[in-house]
Structure 1
């Protein structure tokens, strides 16, 4: 039997060099079949509202175009963005309950495997050695 749910993955395994949030936390829009916006989408498993954040993978070897990903978070309340670091628009974050769901994405008429990321919680990354 094929896996029917997302695959749990350790944050450090998926983002070995860390991750940085850019922009703001945003609600995930729910769309009707005819393309009309119908408010905020809900997580199918928990029923909680879905939020999304844009993340930059800190790995310098991340492939072009794949260095920025979106992580969705199911939460009753809007997740709180960590404070900016040294006035930069990048915020170091970690995710608890991270999972991936593989899917096929058509790009330029050629299918490729892509991954949808979900988490249960977003937190500020712990300070590294040499930090403030």
Structure 2
């Protein structure tokens, strides 16, 4: 089979009605590592690249998204904290587009009934339409 694990997916396919950043980009805490003396946890690192992992939560604007699928976490492996675009929308959430988006399906069996869930990663986030300008 050509699809091993993670696969590339266009932002417009994953988020056909758009994605809206809720909050900022934050480090991913490593819950497998011991706590530091001050009680904090070290930042998780990507298993393939050893780069620090960052995450953000976006709101999926798709009307067909179920209530468990509206808030979506997207992670980034990057040496420095990704900077979201400025919010020029006039709304509390920043419209964003993901560049280099990948998806990994998995079974979420943490609820009363197992379901298919998705793990998303991206290379970066930009304002909608900016990804096309950078590629041109």
Which TM-score applies when normalising by structure 1? 0.84
How far did 1:85 drift? 3.0
**Residues 1:109 and 1:35: Cα distance change in structure 2 (over 3 Å):** farther
Asked whether the 8 Å contact 2:103–2:118 carries over to 1, the reply is: yes
Aligned length: 127
> What pairs up with 1:111-126 in 2 under 5 angstroms?
111-126=114-129
Which ranges in structure 2 are unaligned for 5 or more consecutive residues? 131-136
Is 1:13 paired with 2:13? Answer: yes
Distance 1:29 1:44 in 2: 14
Which ranges in structure 1 are unaligned for 5 or more consecutive residues? 128-132
Asked whether the 8 Å contact 1:21–1:56 carries over to 2, the reply is: yes
Is 1:108 paired with 2:108? Answer: no
Is 1:95 paired with 2:86? Answer: no
**Residues 1:108 and 1:86: Cα distance change in structure 2 (over 3 Å):** closer
> What pairs up with 1:40-119 in 2 under 5 angstroms?
40-119=43-122
Query: Which structure features the higher share of helix residues?
Result: 2
Q: How much is the aligned-residue C-alpha RMSD, in angstroms? A: 2.3
Distance 1:34 1:25 in 2: 23
Distance 1:43 1:108 in 2: 27
Distance 2:4 2:48 in 1: 12
How far did 1:2 drift? 8.6
Distance 1:2 1:110 in 2: 30
Query: Which structure features the higher share of strand residues?
Result: 1
How far did 1:63 drift? 1.4
Q: 1:68-92: per-residue Cα shift (whole Å, max 9, x none)?
A: 1000011111000211234422111
